[in-house]
Amino acid sequence: MIPVTKPFLPPMAEYNKLLEGIWSRQWLTNMGPLASDLEMKLKEYLDVKHLLFVTNGTVAIQMAIKALQIQGEIITTPFSFVATSSTIVWEGCTPVFVDIDPHSLNIDPSKIEAAITDKTQAILATHVYGNPCDVVAIEAIAKKHNLKVIYDAAHAFGVKVNGRSIFEYGDVSTCSLHATKLYHTTEGGLIITKEPAVLKQLASMRNFGIAGPVAFDGLGINGKNSEFHAAMGLANLNYIEDIIERRSAICQRYDERLKTAKIHKSKWHTQANKTHTYYPVIFESESLLLAVKAELDAHEIFTRRYFYPSLANTLPYVQHVDMPITDDIAKRVLCLPLYYELTMEEVDLISRIILRVQNN
């Protein structure tokens, strides 16, 4: 059986050594020494000014919306994981969908201004598969209309644009450190902002808004993470370059073996590096995708239709709208297996099956 993904796990002895420290200190959560150390090491690795380690990527978006005091309408993409849209609704705001660019698969900046109303307060855009949005165009639109910008950078750990961390763009960026991600802490997330005042508010919010033993300085939530998750993050961080290198080699193998396949890939940002979070392919037709997926399933090779279906016309708690490009891409895109332990022989097998199905 070949799953679509597997989490990278560090040597157990290294993780256990960190666990021994937790046992001896008996400090399990509430931003213990490992969580604080992880924040410092991630700031250095990612080259960002401010960073918070939180419960998960979804809570990170919730906190970002709350900290920026956003109400009303938020322009967003229908081609993303459900949390991007559901969090907007959860925070009492209204998602306004804008269709995607067919090449990058990110929100199309040329369509954003037409969606702006007097109720619009922010743009929440996703760096799809880690491919950076047109951050320059989005920033210009936001400045023109006095809007806040939040980036759902769940897939973009380690990505840079023009040598600058993708997390440094927008008012706030968020990242997921879920076990399925390139770099993970089992469960976890990050919030990144350039603004010290916003950071201070987010840090308070993460701990219920507590300002002292008997004082509160505002509305908060339990956004903290545990020492056990931080330990996994610290252990995994030692291997991040090796992880990226291995995934890059696997993707290159796919590229070589699938040269004649009836597929194409999204166009990557020309000034950005790749960290190979996913290997999505876009088939010529949905029928070909379904035929390939069925044959792979028969061989116990599991893929994922990510993201399918479009959020714009399937979620029961949003007003349904027609997003033709998103609908088309969502029907034809498939993420192939990609993880550290995937062998080149398995890549070759997957590729042979895809080519055999399309040629039948």
User: Could you state, in order of their start, the residue ranges of all structural domains in the chain?
Assistant: 12-237, 240-359
Q: Is the model's pLDDT at 360 over the cut of 90? A: no
> Could you write out the DSSP letters of every residue in 102-159?
TTT-SB-GGGTGGG--TTEEEEEEE-GGGPPP-HHHHHHHHHHHT-EEEEE-TT-TT-
Average pLDDT, the chain: 97
Average pLDDT score over residue span 354-358: 97
- Interatomic CA distance for residues 100 and 324, integer angstroms: 9
Whether 212 shows a pLDDT value over 90: the answer reads no
Average pLDDT over residues 216-220: 90
Task: Provide the pLDDT for residue 340.
Answer: 98
pLDDT given at position 126: 98
Q: Specify the pLDDT at position 4.
A: 98
Please, what is the end-to-end C-alpha distance for the chain in angstroms? Answer: 24
- Architecture of the domain made up of 240-359: Alpha-Beta Complex (3.90)
- For residue 214, is pLDDT > 90? no
Integer angstrom CA distances of residue 247 from 117, 187, 218, 264, 269: 43, 21, 43, 19, 19
Asked if residue 336 lies in contact with residue 350, where contact means CB atoms within 8 angstroms, the answer is: yes
- Identify the pLDDT of residue 166: 98
Q: Please check the confidence at residue 105 and state whether its pLDDT lies above 90.
A: yes
Q: Please report how many Cα atoms fall inside a 13 Å half-sphere around the Cα of residue 266, on the Cβ side.
A: 26
| Locus of tokens 């890939």 | 265
**At 121, is the pLDDT very low, low, confident or very high (cuts 50, 70, 90)?**
very high
Q: Does domain 12-237 have CATH number 3.40.50.280?
A: no
Given pLDDT bands bounded at 50, 70 and 90, which one contains residue 213? confident
Identify the band that residue 215 occupies on the pLDDT scale cut at 50, 70 and 90: confident
Q: Indicate whether 259 pLDDT > 90.
A: yes
Q: What is the per-residue pLDDT for 211?
A: 84
Asked whether residue 140 carries a pLDDT value surpassing 90, the answer given is: yes
Q: Is the pLDDT of residue 217 over 90?
A: no
According to the model, what pLDDT value does residue 62 have? 98
